[in-house]
A and B are shown apart, each in its own frame.
Chain A
C-alpha cells in the first residue's frame, strides 16, 4: 500500500531528501540501505521534494536506499507492560525483553488546556534538607539541576527518585554514558523500584537524532500514566545534550543560528517539553526533574539561560552540594506554609545567617579584623555546611528543622537571630552546647 522510493536526491548531516508524492508533514518513513534500517521523520515539504531526518543517522546511506513512508507520526506503545523495561529513544527494547506493539500513542501531542490545570499543592519529600527545608520540591513542578560536568547529578536524581512518593518513574537518558545507564538500572533494581519505572535511554554512542526523541517519548508515556491518576516523576538527563542535538540538526538544515549556534526556537523547543509538567484537574500529575550541565560553568550559556526562563526554579549543584544561593523553588510557597509552622522562619533566618557567614568569609580573606560576631558566624557556617548542605545527609523535613534550631542555639543568642519571640518560646532548644568564647 505504501509506495517505496529509491532515488535519494541529497544527503546532508542526518537529513536526506527524496522526491515523493502524497507525503504528509511530520510522518515517519523507513529507510533501508545496505547498512540496515532506520526510521526517519519528514521535516520539510517543498513541492515534491521531501526532507527527512534519519533517526539512526545518515552514515552509510546510499543514493539508492529504499524509503518507505508509513503514513503516521512517531508513535510509542503504551501499557503497563512498559514498567520495568528499558528502551531506546525510538522505542526499541534495549533489555532482553520482547518488543511491545500494543496500543500505540502519538508522541509530542498537544499541550494541556490551561483551564484544566490546578494550582500545585503537594510537597515531594526528598530527605535532602537543602531541598525539603530551603527549596521545597512540589508535585508537578519542573525543575532542572544546573551543574558542571563531573558533579554527582545522576546519583542525586536517582536518590530523589527513590525517596519521592510517586507511582511511576520515567527516566529519559540523553547522551548518557553507558556506565551511568547501568548505574540507574542497577540502583532502581536494587531498591525494588525498577518495577515501577520505564527507562528510555540514548547513550553517547547512539545516533544523535534518537536523542531528540527521548524527552517526547518519556513525556508521552508519562502523560498516559498521569491520565490514569498516577503521580509520575520524569527524570531527564542531560538536557544540554538534547539541546546540542537540536543545534546539530538546525545547522544541517542551514537554519540561521541565534546565539552561539543554537537555533532561534530553542526556547520553544525546550518549553514544549518542560510544560508537560502538570497537575491535572481530576487526574494525576507529572513532575519533571532534569539535569542541565552548564558548559564552562556559565549560567548565561543559551541552554541553562533558556531553561531558567522556562522552569519553576533551579537547583545549583556545586562541589557536591546544593548551593543555597541561586537555587530556587518558585513553587515552595504553595506548600511550605502547610508543613510545620516554623518552616518558613527557619528557611529565611538560616539563609540570612548563612549569607552573613559568606560575607564574613570574604572579609577574612581580605584580611579585615574579625569581630566576636564574625567568630559566631564562622562557627555557624561550618556546621550549616557539614550538617545540612552535605549531600550525604538524609533526614526527614521535621528532623532537619529540629537540627536547624539546634545549630542556631549552639551558635547564637535568640535575639541575634531576629526570630519572633513567639517561635523562640516554642522552639528554641533548652539543651545547648555552651558557646565557645571567640
Chain B
C-alpha cells in the first residue's frame, strides 16, 4: 500500500492485533515489522530494517505474535541487537556487515544444561514458580513455570536430574481446566508487557553501592530504584555508566547501548571478558549482558532495544537476583518515537516529540522495582538511563518527563567536565530520594558547605580575593576541598576508581570532621597553602588501599595537620 522511510502501510483481510509482528516479504527477504496503528482496513507498521526494495503489492505475513524475547539459560555473556539477534553469531554467518532480514535464534537450542528438579509430581504451582535449576556461570538459573500461564498448575511429570537441551520438555503441567502444558527450559514473553509473577512490590530502600562516592554518599541509588543521568555531549555519561557496570554491587548488569556509538560497546565487549569481578573472582562478562543497537543500526529496533533489555532484567529478577539495567541513551529511543510519530503525522508536542512521550517514559521506568516473589525471596530491577538533551539544556521534553518519574537525578554539567572535575555530576542541583550509605546529617552539612563555598566563590569573582574575609575564604577552601578529594574520583586509578560503602563511611567521617573544625589562619595565603597540602595528602589517601599500613599512616598525617590549624578558642 505504501512505504515512507521505515513506515509501511498495509491492507489486511484477517484480524490482526496492535503490536503484532509481521514480515514484509520480497523474494527470499523477510523484514520484521510491528503493527503500530490500525485504521479501518489499513495497518501501519514500523519496519525494523532498511525498507529499500519493497514495492506496493508485496505481501506481509502476520505472525499472530507480539514482539517477544526468548528467556532461558544462556542469556548472560550474550551480545544481542535490539531484537535479540546474537551479534557474534550473525558476524559468523554474514561477515563484516549486518544483513537485513537475517534472524538467528537468541539461544542455542542444542546446548545442554544440567537440570536439577525442584518441584515434585503433584505439586501445585503458579506462573513464575521454580520447577528446577540449571547452573549458568556463577548463578543458579531457575527454570520457572511459564509466566503466561494462569491459575494453579499441577505438576504431572518432571524430568529427573540430568542434562537436557532447550528443546526438551522438562515438565508437564495441567492447568485448572485440565489442559496439559509441556514446559521446556525456554519461554518467550512480549517485551512491552511487564512480568508480574510476584506477590508484592516493595519500596526500594536498600542502597545499591555503585562505588562512585558522589553517587553513593550524596545522590544514592537504591536497589529497585530508578535514576537518570542527563548531560551535554562529552560530559561523561557513558564513562559513568561504564564505571558503574564494572563496580556496582549487583548480581547482573544489563547494558542497553541504545542509539549511541558502536565503538563504546566494542570497548566493553572486548575488555569485560579480560576483567575479573572482585565479588566472584570470575570474568566480569559472566554477570553481563549487552543489548547493542547503536546509532547506525535500524531506528525502530532502537526503540525495541530498551524493552528487550528490561524484559530480560525482569526475568532474572524472577530468580531472586538484583539486576541493574543501564540504558545509554534514552533520548535516542525517544527520538525513534519522534521519527515514527512524524511519519504517522500525529499532532506533535514540544520539539515535535509525540504527546504520549511522558507516559511512555513513565511506563518504562515503572518496570524497575523490588518485588517479593511467591516463594518469599526478593529480587530487584534498578534502572539507570542517560539523557542527551538538545544543546545540553535540561528544559526539554525527555529530561523533564524523566525527572518526573525517577528517584534520583545525576545532572552532569558542562562547567564541571570542562574543568575536568569528574564525575561531572553537579552537586548543587542533583538530587536523590534514596538513602545514603553515610549519615544523612553529615551529608547535609557537606552539602551546605558546598553551597556556601559556591556563594563565596561567586562573590569573589566580583569583588576579588582582596575584598573577601579570611573566614569566608576558608569556607570556600573547605568546599573546594570536599569537591577535590571526595566528589571527584579518578576513574582510571585502580584504587580510587571504586570506593566500597564501608570505606566511604570511614573516609567521609574524617572529611566531615575537617569541615566542622574551626580553623585559624593568619591570612588567606597561609589558608590556601594549608588546604593545598591537605588536598595533596588526602588524594594520596584516596589512592591507597585500606588494608595496607600506609592507609593509617596517611590518616595520622591528616589528623596532625588538622590539629595544627585548629582554633581551640
Contacts and interface: CB of A to CB of B under 8 A. Distances in A.
Contacts of B95: 113, 116
Interface string A248-273: 00000001111100011101100110
A431 to B, nearest CB: 30
A114 B96 CA distance: 9
A191 interface: no
B299 A265 contact: yes
B382 interface: no
Contacts of A328: 234
Nearest to B335: A267
Contact of A256 (B51, B57, B342): B342
B52 interface: yes
Interface stretch (B97-105, B106-114, B445-453): B97-105
A331 B239 CA distance: 12
Contacts of B263: 117, 119-120, 140, 312, 331
Contact of B270 (A113, A119, A313, A331): A119
Given A111-B296, A255-B342, A313 B234 contact: yes
B3 A44 contact: yes
A258 B262 contact: no
A265 B339 contact: yes
Interface string A100-135: 000000000111111111111000000000000000
Contact of A275 (B9, B296, B342): B296
B50 interface: yes
Nearest to A119: B270
Interface in B249-294: 259, 261-263, 265-267, 269-271, 292, 294
A259 B234 CA distance: 21
Nearest to B1: A47
B28 interface: no
Contacts of A366: 464
A115 B90 contact: yes
Contacts of A326: 418
B154 to A, nearest CB: 44
A268 B299 contact: yes
A24 B52 contact: yes
A376 interface: no
Given A268-B299, A268-B339, A117 B266 contact: yes
A35 interface: no
A116 B95 CA distance: 8
Given A44-B4, A267-B295, A23 B55 contact: yes
Interface in B1-17: 1-4, 9
A367 to B, nearest CB: 9
Given A114-B265, A264-B352, A309 B233 contact: yes
Nearest to A50: B56
A326 B234 CA distance: 9
Given A47-B56, A110-B50, A369-B466, A257 B352 contact: yes
Nearest to A302: B390
A255 B343 CA distance: 8
B317 interface: no
Contacts of A310: 261, 295
A45 B2 contact: yes
A190 interface: no
A117 B262 contact: yes
Given A23-B55, A119-B266, A300-B392, A45 B4 contact: yes
A47 B2 CA distance: 5
Given A256-B342, A308-B234, A280 B3 contact: no
Nearest to B87: A115
Interface of B: 1-4, 9, 50-57, 79, 87-88, 90-91, 94-100, 232-234, 259, 261-263, 265-267, 269-271, 292, 294-297, 299, 332, 335, 338-339, 342, 348, 351-353, 388, 390-393, 418, 464-466, 492
18 contacts: A22-B55, A24-B55, A27-B52, A110-B100, A111-B97, A111-B98, A111-B262, A112-B262, A115-B88, A118-B266, A264-B339, A265-B339, A267-B335, A272-B296, A308-B233, A363-B464, A366-B464, A368-B466
Given A73-B52, A258-B351, 6 more contacts: A27-B53, A116-B91, A264-B342, A280-B96, A328-B234, A368-B465
